[in-house]
Amino acid sequence: MAEAPRLTESASAVFAVLAEAGSATRPQLATLAGLSKPTVSSAVAELESARLAAHSGTASSGTGRSAAVYGLGPAAGAVLAVDLGPAVTRVRGCALDGTLLAETAASREEAADAVRGALAALPAGAPLRAIVVAVGDVTEWDREGAGMRPATAKAGPVYDAVTVALPPGVPVHLENNVNCAALAELHEGAARGRRTFGYLRIGVGIGLGIVIGGHVLRGANGAAGELARLPYPWDEGREPRREALEEYVGARSLLRRAAHAWRDADGPCPRTAEELFALAAEGRAAARAVVARHAADVGRLAAAVAAVLDPGLIVLGGSTGADPQLLPGVRAELGRLSWPTEVVSSTVGDLGTVVGAARLAVTRGVQTVTDAARTKD
């Protein structure tokens, strides 16, 4: 990784707002950064000298005068986001203004190849500023001082293979995959314009991304939203088991319930959740009954979320949770058990986690450059 240049504080501030804006004139940069026009002119010259900013065109004002437009320069660099999904690994490379530069996907077994492919597609010579890896796990500090790593064996050999494929010397940040998807919903999805909400993911597993005041809540142990650890079952004569709730609500149990309820007259039993929901959409009575029960179960989980957080909005995501067929049942059960809470389906789909991880990587990458400011104006 190329070391970020030593910038003045004003140049760092201008770089940060330029990365956020994508392109801007010097008067616009002055307004966004809250600096005087002479200070911004000096900062832009400093950034141009370091190849962190570059002239990208001109813009005309209403008076007919034109102003130089600036964007990020070739030395600003790029970032990498990796989503270690349960079945597919998705990788994105982005410039520090969020522009998509590379995108690959592969099976979990070929995760390292997907990373190498994305790295090879980045612009030649562009320094890599930060890497974010989204994992389906809580993260913790490695006891040997090697940085953050997954707290359990969920990521397993796939995570280890990916870390070997990553270039040395670049800061690697781990984040829970549900938290990344929540960030995508906040900035580009169903929660845009809402600074407080819960992102409830229902699929093979379950999880909750909690956004409060525009920021993801991670908790003291980085485990906020780990719904799988809610005590279940909680009934007289039955002892709660670890992650038993995830076992009950997850897609595998959903398919087992479908198989148990299926009759020969109902035709072939669905082998995947996608097949089950497709049959329900066709109006098949057996499939509709199983989906309705699943919606009620998810609604009860949403009621637990509302009771603790009162988020005002719950976004349903995940391989089964995002299906709009669940919405009526979830809304009805939540309304029966808790106070009014809006419930909507995710709009970012399967790309949500890598989109959110890329956004986080951009933030980290910009910080890598701006944190190099060590001299005072």
Q: Which amino acid is at 123?
A: P
* Separation between Cα atoms, residue 364 and residue 19, nearest integer Å: 12
Minimum mean pLDDT range among 156-160, 178-182, 215-219, 291-295:
156-160
- pLDDT value of position 313: 98
230: left (phi over 0), alpha (psi -120 to 50) or beta: beta
Three-class HEC string of the chain: CCCCCCCEHHHHHHHHHHHHHCEEEHHHHHHHHCCCHHHHHHHHHHHHHCCCEEEEEEEECCCCCEEEEEEECCCCCEEEEEEECCCEEEEEEEECCCCEEEEEEEEHHHHHHHHHHHHHHCCCCCCEEEEEEEECCCEEECCCCCCEEECCCCCHHHHHHHHHHCCCCCCEEEEEHHHHHHHHHHHHCCCCCCCCEEEEEECCCEEEEEEECCEECCCCCCCCCCHHHCCCCCECCECCCCCHHHHHHCHHHHHHHHHHHCCHHHCCCCCCHHHHHHHHHCCCHHHHHHHHHHHHHHHHHHHHHHHHHCCCEEEEECCCCCCHHHHHHHHHHHHHHCCCCEEEECCCHHHHHHHHHHHHHHHHHHHHHHCCCCECC
User: How is the chain split into domains, by residue range?
Assistant: 9-75, 78-180+353-367, 190-347
Q: Classify domain 190-347 at the CATH topology level.
A: Nucleotidyltransferase; domain 5 (3.30.420)
Q: Which residues contact 246 (CB under 8 A, 6 or more apart)?
A: 205, 206, 227, 228
Q: Which of 142, 143, 136, 126 is nearest to 178 (CA)?
A: 136
Whether 190-347 and 78-180+353-367 are alike in CATH topology: the answer is yes
* Separation between Cα atoms, residue 179 and residue 176, nearest integer Å: 5
User: Whole-prediction pTM value?
Assistant: 0.88
- pLDDT value of position 153: 52
Per-residue pLDDT tens over the stretch 194-226 = 999 999 999 999 999 999 999 999 998 888 999
Taking CA atoms, 160 is separated from 84, 310, 360, in Å, by 11, 38, 21
Q: State mean pLDDT over 360-369.
A: 95
Minimum mean pLDDT range among 38-42, 185-189, 238-242, 297-301:
238-242
Architecture in CATH for domain 9-75: Orthogonal Bundle (1.10)
**What are 300's two structure tokens?**
């009860």
Reported residue count of the chain is 377
- pLDDT value of position 147: 54
Residue 62 has pLDDT above 50, yes or no: yes
Which tops the pLDDT comparison, 11 or 57? Answer: 11
Q: Which residues contact 11 (CB under 8 A, 6 or more apart)?
A: 43, 46, 47, 373
CB of 97 closer than 8 Å to CB of 54: no
- pLDDT above 70 covers a percentage of the chain that reads 91
The correct CATH number of 78-180+353-367 out of 3.20.20.80, 3.40.50.1010, 3.30.420.40, 3.40.50.10260 is 3.30.420.40
* Separation between Cα atoms, residue 84 and residue 107, nearest integer Å: 10
Residue 372 has pLDDT above 50, yes or no: yes
Highest mean pLDDT among 64-73, 76-85, 145-154: 76-85
Average pLDDT, the chain: 90
- pLDDT value of position 376: 46
- pLDDT above 90 covers a percentage of the chain that reads 77
Per-residue pLDDT tens over the stretch 297-354 = 999 999 999 999 999 999 999 999 999 999 999 999 999 999 999 999 999 988 999 9
**What are 338's two structure tokens?**
């808790």
* Separation between Cα atoms, residue 256 and residue 95, nearest integer Å: 45
- pLDDT value of position 237: 84
Residue 23 has pLDDT above 60, yes or no: yes
